Amino acid sequence: MRTARRISTSINLHLVQQTQRHTRRFALPPLPAFTYRQTHTTAHEKILPSPSEQAFNETHPQTTTTTTSTSPRPKSTSSIMPVNAIDFPELQACLTSNAEWAARVSKDEPHFFEKSAKGQKPFLLWIGCADSRVPESVVLGRKPGEIFVHRNIANQYQAGDDSAQAVLEYAVGFLGVRHVAIVGHTACGGCAAAYMSKPEDAGNKETTTSLARFLQPLIDLRHSLPEGASMDDLIVENVKRGVVDVAKSEVIQKQWAKAAEEGSEPVYVHGWLKDLSTGLIKDLLCSQGPDKA
């Protein structure tokens, strides 16, 4: 493989200047932690700088007040290619928005981050699609700390998938979430690929890529549907199957048994669908909980 390079840029000073501007704009007192370099040396004081960071620090003293990064993305003029976030306007915009968001939160709820750093107590585990159009906390209007999240291709819950199962185990067993929601959405690319597969693709065990392997259960589901089934049928059935499979899982079965024994609250599993054309999430009314004892 070809090796890759790292380069240190004037990121720290640039960001300090940015955040100072935002601090003024939001009429907040200066927040020391707003300087990324200070964050590094205070919150993570035990972390030693990497060799490249160390070299950067040595050649760019923190008292310097000028920045050489004036164009949004400096074109490389040497054999060293700049690749860090500050070199790309779209990433710089993300970090700027992040600083603005943090300033707003600190202003509205001064102890929010202090409390947040102490622990989490989410009430919901969201198993959703990786699709960029379904960011759970934005579409449900939730704050950080409320929803534990697993997102993969086509919001699948597969028996052999350690990643999804580990999330379920952690969320239900350690964090004690009250609810698990499998959330599908219209116009899902993974479901579209499965929907357009050929009947002979069902049961294929000779897939060569991770994506093909990960889509295989969805392809099998597609060809198990009655003739004339639409892509939306597949999307809904994928969610409903996920709900059934999560409910059947050892993690949920154990939690239900324990809740029944202790008389404590059981966890519930829900199936939802986001309609991209309206932004609305609909309950598919396929929730599962334990039988009443």
Nearest to 31 by CA among 92, 119, 90, 114: 114
**Which residue shows structure tokens 């086509």?**
154
Residue 131 annotated as part of some ligand binding site: yes
Does the footprint of a second copy cover residue 8 (CB under 8 A)? yes
Does the footprint of a second copy cover residue 94 (CB under 8 A)? yes
> Is the Cβ of residue 73 or residue 223 nearer to a second copy in the bound state?
73
Site string for a second copy, 19-38 (x = CB under 8 A): ------------x-xx-x--
Assess whether 131 carries a catalytic annotation: yes
Q: For the segment 235-254, give every residue that binds a second copy (CB under 8 A).
A: 236, 240, 247-248, 253
Q: At 271, which helix (H) or strand (E)?
A: strand 268-275
Cα Rg of the chain (Å, integer): 24
**Which residue shows structure tokens 């915009």?**
93
Assess whether 44 carries a catalytic annotation: no
Q: Which of 24, 133, 178, 275 is catalytic?
A: 133
Least CB distance to a second copy at residue 54 (A) = 11
Tell me the residue type at 159. Answer: A
CB 57, CB 49: distance < 8 Å: yes
What is the CB neighbour count within 10 angstroms for residue 231?
A: 16
The single residue among 17, 23, 41, 186 that binds a second copy, judged by CB under 8 A, is: 186
Assess whether 133 carries a catalytic annotation: yes
SS3 category, 175: coil
Alpha carbon 220 to chain centroid distance?
Answer: 27
Assess whether 222 carries a catalytic annotation: no
Does the footprint of a second copy cover residue 183 (CB under 8 A)? no
Q: Which of 14, 22, 150, 188 is catalytic?
A: 188
Assess whether 129 carries a catalytic annotation: yes
Least CB distance to a second copy at residue 30 (A) = 13
Burial class (CB in 10 A: 0-12, 13-18, 19+), 69: middle
Q: For the segment 109-168, give every residue that binds a second copy (CB under 8 A).
A: 112-114, 116-120, 122-124, 130-153, 161-168
Whole-angstrom distance, CA of residue 3 vs CA of residue 221 = 42
The single residue among 28, 85, 202, 259 that binds a second copy, judged by CB under 8 A, is: 85
Known catalytic residues?
A: 129, 131, 133, 185, 188
